[in-house]
Structure 1
Amino acid sequence: MKDRAFVAQIGGSRLTTAEIYYYRPDARSLLQQFVWQDYDLPPDFPLLFQFLEHWQRELEGALHSISISHQGLLKPAEWHAVDGVIHIRR
């Protein structure tokens, strides 16, 4: 079984969080916040921008501002390739 998050991190993706502020469609003077989070590839963030394009095309709430942060949960010092297998016998 593959863990999608682990595979994404090995491929260079980082846990990306976007705070999206948008105008409410029913009350244009009010802002509302939506938090989007997924594994994405910085600095281009293709998944985030695909989501934002969908938002602008399909949803009524006009975007006000977006704050993006990302963090690599796996760091090079924490992951090492293993060349062998250790068998433990009982």
Structure 2
Amino acid sequence: MDRSFVAQLNDYRITTAEILYWMPDHKHVLQSFLWQNLDLAPRFPALTKFLDFWDRNLDGRLHKVTVANTQLIKPAEFTFASGLYQLH
């Protein structure tokens, strides 16, 4: 069985983070980095681990992190048809 599928069944969600950081060589310029992974909301341990790594090992100082997440496996959504149309 696929590991990511099992993780999704255990409430892991696809998480996207936009990380704005200051360029090391140009201190007045912001750069954007997108990070995406399966993570467990609301604590986000994988994102926290990545940001800790960034803070310890990379020169670009963090400015702002924006996080969004959603479940990939969820109950089916349906609506009733409002009419029946017939073509020739």
TM-score range relative to shorter protein: 0.7 to 0.9
Residue in structure 2 matched with residue 82 of structure 1 by the alignment:
none
Cα deviation for residue 7 of structure 1 reads 1.1
**Partners of 1:30 and 1:3 in 2: how far apart?**
41
Q: Which amino acid aligns with 1:4?
A: R
Distance in 2, Cα, partners of 1:9 & 1:60: 34
Give percent identity, aligned residues only.
47
Give the partner amino acid of 1:27: H
**What are structure 1's unaligned runs of at least 5 residues?**
79-90
Give RMSD over aligned pairs.
0.8
The alignment partner of 1:29 has SS state of: coil
Aligned residue in 1 for 2:44: 45
Name the amino acid aligned to 1:18.
A
Q: 1:4, CA displacement in angstroms?
A: 2.1
The amino acid of 1:22's aligned partner reads Y
Consecutive aligned runs of 4 or more in structure 1 exceeding 2 Å deviation? none
In the alignment, residue 50 of structure 2 is paired with which amino acid? F
1:10 aligns with 2:2: no
Q: Which AA in structure 1 matches 2:26?
A: A
